[in-house]
Amino acid sequence: MRLSLPSPIGFGTAPLGNMYRNIPEQEALDTVEAAWQQGIRYFDAAPLYGAGLAELRLGKALQHHDRDAYVLSTKVGRRVLDEIEDPAARDLGEKGGLFEHGLPNRIVYDYSADGTLRAIEESLARLRTDRLDVVWIHDPARDFHGDAWKTVFQQAMDGAAVALTRLREEGVIKAWGLGVNRVEPCEMALQQADPDGFLIAGRYTLLDHDAALQRLMPASVARGTGIVVGGPYNSGVLAGGAHYEYQPTPPDIAARVQGLQALAAEHGVDLRAAALQFALAHPAVASVIPGASRPERIADNLALATAPIPAAFWRALRAQHLVAAEAPLPGL
């Protein structure tokens, strides 16, 4: 697999950007340190997360650790400016209000080659490091750009993808790809460029995996491009939370989750463990990166990833058509 990551469980830092709530600074720093102490060595960030807040906190937390000992990724396609705006009023497409508790700095889209290089320099400063290992092109997709998304995607391919390919060839970065919440841009990128992998949030989960299984996952296995699964709990709903796709859970999704919970309870399974282990079972998956904003959640996630789950549970999932027939399942 071309996308080399140090462990099957990484750490997604979106919550550290004050996603959903105003997280105390020390709590955020303690969460990163808990991840480090328990062996996590892959960390993913983005300028979008709190208008640079997650990167600032991650950089502060990791500054005393050996840079050669961990893998770091962040994203391009957005830049954080010195200008001020109302975080609650930002146009985030289908993800409105997501980081309303973040910093008030203005965020602008820029998928150009020059904007990509500037974004990397700015992220390096916030992260207090001299290099990035992996860079994802962030959200050139319908959920943020509506009907204009294919135009934006092409701008990203003509600008950011070209710049990142050059940086990879020069050895400045090790890998690049897309960081998105949709499958189609990844499939298109495979046709136009040579990405090393993709970070897909919420699209290879117990609740939503059909589209990824049709073409993207088989193509990734064939080409050796790795998939990082973000949002394995679908924004929290599979972990007992109230959000799906970063918004309040709609009734139809809540009903499906209740069905999964009932089956899990019948077999004595924690649904969170099933969610993590389902994603990890696919050979295309290089890592799964659940987010966390409290230190104790780190230990929870690591324990859940290896918790025993009876084969009868997985067989029941398939028999009741709660997962796709072609989805790889642990131990089956």
Q: Which residues are catalytic?
A: 44, 49, 75
Q: What's the rounded Cα separation, in Å, for the pair 116 and 86?
A: 24
Tokens of 271: 């649904």
Of 67, 42, 55, residue with least CA distance to 14:
55
Q: Which residues pair with 179 in a beta bridge?
A: 138, 199
Residues β-bridged to residue 243: 248
Alpha helix positions (H), 170-227: 184-192, 210-211, 217-223
Question: By C-alpha distance, which of 21, 19, 90, 78 is closest to 47?
Answer: 78
CA distances (Å), origin 180, targets 77, 138, 184, 304, 328:
11, 6, 10, 25, 22
CA angle 134, 13, 21 (to 5 degrees): 155
Q: What is the C-alpha separation between 152 and 198, in angstroms, rounded?
A: 18
Identity of the amino acid at 59: G
Provide the token pair at 95.
Answer: 């993800």
CA–CA gap between residue 297 and residue 303 (Å, rounded): 10
Place of tokens 């996952």: 217
